[in-house]
């Protein structure tokens, strides 16, 4: 099990091997943490996503899956893009959120990343309640077998940080 911690901060400034992006199925950018990563990392990240769309992922990245690209100008070496589920009151999509964390750790293992930073996937535009997003994130990372040695949850607000700390 990796060492796990939660901090308040901006994930784009993390000096870890890979940072995880809460992307959308298109992989072609968006708002929130996705927009921040593309702004801070420069055009090479989008160029790398466009290559994926033109080759292995013509229909985009499925919800719950993850894929790595360059991190462009960021201090990290890779961005691991994952697509969280949109929260629904009528349907339990927890399995897809679990899959985001699992697949991101698998992709980190594939590229050889040993330190990883995650945002609170799905807990922004996609509407997942922060407390439950934190529970799923912490329990999944705790339970997944991985060679990643260090996982840092980088949260954008005190409220998000408190939600994660309560499960750690």
Q: What residues are labeled active site? A: 34
Nearest Cα to Cα of residue 132 among 102, 87, 100, 91: 87
- The pairing of beta strand 78-83 with beta strand 66-70: antiparallel
> Site residues for ligand AR6, window 147-166 (CB under 6 A)?
154, 156, 160
**x-marked contacts with ligand AR6 along 101-140 as a string, rule CB under 6 A:** ------------------xxxxxxxx--------------
User: What distance, in Å, lies between the first and last C-alpha atoms of the chain?
Assistant: 13
**51 contacts: CB under 8 Å, gap ≥ 6:** none
Quickly tell me which residue has 């959308």 as its tokens.
24
Q: Which stretch binds ligand AR6 (CB under 6 A): 18-26, 59-67, 105-113, 142-150?
A: 18-26
Per DSSP (E only), the strands in 11-164 are: 18-23, 66-70, 78-83, 115-118, 150-155
State yes or no: residue 12 binds ligand AR6 (CB under 6 A).
Answer: yes
Signed CA dihedral, 19, 58, 25, 91: sign only: negative
State yes or no: residue 5 binds ligand AR6 (CB under 6 A).
Answer: no
Name which of 101 and 156 has its Cβ closer to ligand AR6: 156
Quickly tell me which residue has 């954008």 as its tokens.
156
State yes or no: residue 31 binds ligand AR6 (CB under 6 A).
Answer: yes
Backbone angles phi, psi at 160, to 5 degrees: -65, -40
Q: Which stretch binds ligand AR6 (CB under 6 A): 22-30, 49-57, 71-79, 104-112?
A: 22-30
State yes or no: residue 71 binds ligand AR6 (CB under 6 A).
Answer: no
Q: Which of 4, 8, 30, 60 binds ligand AR6 (CB under 6 A)?
A: 30
The residue ranges that bind ligand AR6 (CB under 6 A) are 10-12, 22-24, 30-34, 36, 84, 119-126, 154, 156, 160
């Amino acid at each position: 099990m990796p060492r796990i911690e939660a901090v308040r901060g901006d994930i784009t400034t993390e000096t870890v091997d890979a940072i995880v992006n809460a992307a959308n199925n298109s992989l072609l950018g968006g708002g929130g943490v996705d927009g921040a990563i593309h702004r801070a990392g420069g055009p090479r990240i989008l160029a790398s996503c466009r290559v994926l769309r033109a080759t292995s992922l013509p229909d985009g990245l499925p919800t719950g899956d993850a894929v790595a690209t360059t991190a462009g100008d960021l201090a990290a070496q890779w961005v691991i893009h994952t697509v969280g589920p949109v929260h629904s009151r009528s349907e339990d999509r927890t399995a897809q959120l679990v899959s985001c964390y699992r697949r991101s750790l698998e992709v980190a293992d594939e590229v050889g990343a040993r330190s990883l930073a995650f945002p609170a996937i799905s807990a922004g535009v996609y509407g997942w309640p922060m407390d439950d997003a934190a529970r799923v994130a912490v329990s999944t990372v705790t339970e997944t077998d991985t060679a990643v040695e260090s996982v840092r949850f980088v949260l954008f607000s005190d409220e998000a940080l408190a939600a994660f700390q309560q499960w750690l």
